[in-house]
Amino acid sequence: MTFRKRLLLSYVTLIALPLLVLSSLFYRTSLNVVTEQAQKNVFDVVMKNNDVIDTKLGIADQNSRALFVDKDLYQIFNDLNSANEEELLAADRQISAILSKYYSLNEDVYSAQLWTSYYSFGSSVQMPLGDPVQSDVYKEAVRAGGKMVWYPTYDFIRMFDQPWLQDGNIDFRYLFSATRLLNFSHMEDSSLVKLKPDVERPVLTISFKSTVMDKLFEKSIPAGSSYMVLDPDNIVVASSDKTMLTKPFTEDWVDPFREKNNGTARIKINGNNQIVSFARSEITGWMSIVVTPESALVSSLVPIIRTSTLVTAIALSVVALLFAYFILSRITGPIKKLMSAMRLVGEGDFGTHVEVRSQDEFGLLSQRFNRMNDRIAMLVKENYEIKLKEKEAEIQALNMQMNPHFLYNTLNIMNWTAIENNQAELSKMLVCLSNMLHYTSRKDWGAVHLTEELEWMRNYFFIMSARFEGKFTVAYEIEPALYENKVPRLLFQPFVENAILHGFSGMDEGGIITIRGWFEDDSRYFEIRDNGRGISKEGIDAILYKESASVGIKNTISRIRMAYGDEYGIHIHSSPGKGTSIVIHLPNKTQ
């Protein structure tokens, strides 16, 4: 594959991958934003529906409280002879009128009645109740003892034992009721007057058709959604699935919502992504739940988002590819010219030049190629002269070479001469010098054992002591374990030399050099201390930082740092007249 094809493939890959990722992210983000907004809208609908339901049912609850202190109802039941049929009929007419005053304006109320064991009062709608006292609706109200009881949707036929209506088409088949045991009283001459103890307290029953909630939800929730209203015992009060009315709801996905009053969540139901919005009624304690498929919320917007994403991606791809093709032509054209010129140069034509048409990187590359070609031509010409001079230099160097053994043999002859002439000190100096030269002339300049380094220093000290006629003495305080470790060659020499030549200048005797060594915190430390004239702070800075300072000390610091790292090196502690202490810090390594 040619460079042009590889470059084009690289451009296509670099363009396609980001476009694919960005398009996918754009699509998912847009879809998520739309879904979240739709989810919020559905939740708002559920909350508003719940508020409407609470408002409607709250009115019925408030009116029921007003009946407790209705003077007319008090008088009717306090004076009523339940055995007299004429009085019952008259009372029924009066009670119907009173109940109508409270509940006739509420179009959602299907019927409002007062039930007793001897008569059902106020039935504005003809419902064959049978004996309502035997119904669970009545019993729950009596058990509540005056508290409002919201009885969930029930089957009228089963509740009041009316099997003969089973095949009939009745509009009051499914009802839910609000019931309350009424213990009438009223104020008379600033005193609260209650019903006689032997008077039976009636049960107020306000019945609603389950379709009251159906109308509210079916008009407001999104298409494709389902709804249901559950009481605290999971009995279905209202539902888009009419077969579920009055039955218990057994699916467990609704259980987590029981602990909350309202909210919304995304869950999977039967393998499908659903948005569930719920709100609890403050009046009844029932929970309204709307289940909406995610696909139903965004189905109309998905094609628009998908199309816009696809069109944008294609347009960007076309523009990017055209741009890539233009760049390729700008890159590969100059490269082809350079390749052609290089082929000619490879064949020996150093006069080849590439025409420079631009001042960009390729133009600069062509200029450099032309200069290189001219330089090569010149170097080829000079090469023969250089080779001749090199040959002459090699011959001259061979003639001037000296074998190191010649130097050692010469020192050996001088040593024997000194011994024959009883010059013992001179003999020892020659031996020390020979050992020092042998130590420093090794080809391998790697680390050496501390023992070897100190042996070289002893030879050096002997020669320097002879030179300065006992001006100083040397002491060693080194932990034995350090002798097995290795140190850089000539580690101490620059500092010892500095102490002898500068530290002890002006002194005739009494100089002391102490070399210490110890382990501390996984490191090795060596100290060269003298009691010389000391160094000022400016002098220390000059040694450590100025280019004109001691070459030997700078070289030693550099070798330590190159071998072990920048955290290792030397520290100088000194002040004029108090001597100098140089501490060398090395890692605890044997190599």
pTM: 0.49
Distance CA 206, CA 61 (A): 9
- CA distances 492 to 440, 503, 517, 550, 582, Å, are 14, 15, 12, 14, 10
Reference 581, options 523, 527, 540; nearest CA is 527
Q: Are residues 249 and 193 in the same domain?
A: no
Question: Residue 403 has what pLDDT?
Answer: 47
CA angle in degrees (0–180, nearest 5) for 437-440-446: 160
Q: Do 103 and 189 fall within a single domain?
A: yes
> Is residue 272 in some structural domain?
yes
| Residues 163, 197 within the same domain | yes
Which CATH number fits the domain that encloses residue 152? 3.30.450.20
pLDDT for 591: 45
For 521, half-sphere exposure in the C-beta direction (CA atoms, 13 angstrom radius) is: 3
Structural domain contains residue 395: yes
* The predicted structure's pLDDT at residue 273: 84
Q: In this structure, what token pair is assigned to residue 109? A: 């109320």
Could you tell me the two tokens for 529? Answer: 């201390």
One domain, residues 115 and 252: no
Question: Three-class SS string for 77-114?
Answer: HHHCCCCCHHHHHHHHHHHHHHHHHHHCCCCCEEEEEE
Is 437 inside a domain boundary? no
- Other CB atoms within 10 A of residue 215 CB: 11
> Where is the domain boundary, 399, 426, 457?
399
270 within domain boundaries? yes
Q: So what's the pLDDT on residue 514?
A: 94
User: Can you say how many angstroms the Cα of residue 546 is from the centroid of all Cα atoms in its chain?
Assistant: 49
Q: How far apart are CA 494 and CA 551, in angstroms?
A: 9
Tokens 């007003």 belong to 66
Residue that finishes a domain, picked among 278, 298, 318 = 298
Which of 340, 375, 399 is a domain's end point? 399
Whether residues 457 and 581 fall in one domain: yes
In a domain, 514, yes or no: yes
Q: Tell which residue, 453, 465, 524, has the closest CA to residue 493.
A: 453
pLDDT at 407: 59
Residues 504 and 579 in one domain: yes
Closest CA to 221 of 290, 123, 128: 290
384 shares its domain with 453: no
Establish if 405 belongs to a structural domain: no
Burial readout 137-161 (b: 16 or more C-beta within 10 A, e: otherwise) = bbebbeeeeeebbbbbbbebbebbe
Residues 115, 182 within the same domain: yes
- The secondary element (H helix, E strand) that includes residue 464 is helix 450-468
DSSP 235: B
Give, to the nearest 10 degrees, the angle between helix 302-346 and helix 361-400.
40
Residues 174 and 264 in one domain: no
Give the number of domains in the chain: 4
Q: In this predicted structure, what is the pLDDT of residue 298? A: 59
DSSP bridge partners of 280 = 287
| Nearest of 485, 511, 489, 516 to residue 499 by alpha carbon | 511
Q: The domain containing residue 457 runs over which residues?
A: 442-587
For every residue of 114-166, DSSP letters joined together read EE-SS-EE---S----S-GGGSHHHHHHHHHTTS-EEEEEEEHHHHTT-GGGT
Regions of the chain where pLDDT drops below 50: 393-403, 591
Which residues partner with 109 through β-bridges?
208
Q: Is residue 191 part of a domain?
A: yes
Residues 532, 575 contacting (CB under 8 angstroms): no
403: number of Cβ within 10 Å: 8
What is the DSSP annotation of 53-65? HHHHHHHHHHHHH
Give the CA count within 13 Å in the CB-facing half-sphere of 95.
Answer: 28
Q: Are residues 278 and 196 in the same domain?
A: no
- The answer to whether residues 200 and 72 belong to one domain is yes
Domain identity same for 224 and 105: no
Whichever domain contains 458, its CATH number is 3.30.565.10
- For residue 443, the model assigns a pLDDT of 54
Other CB atoms within a 10 A radius of the CB of residue 354 amount to 19
Question: Is 552 part of any domain?
Answer: yes
* Residue whose C-alpha is closest to residue 150's, from 217, 47, 233: 233
Amino acid found at 281? S
pLDDT of residue 398: 41
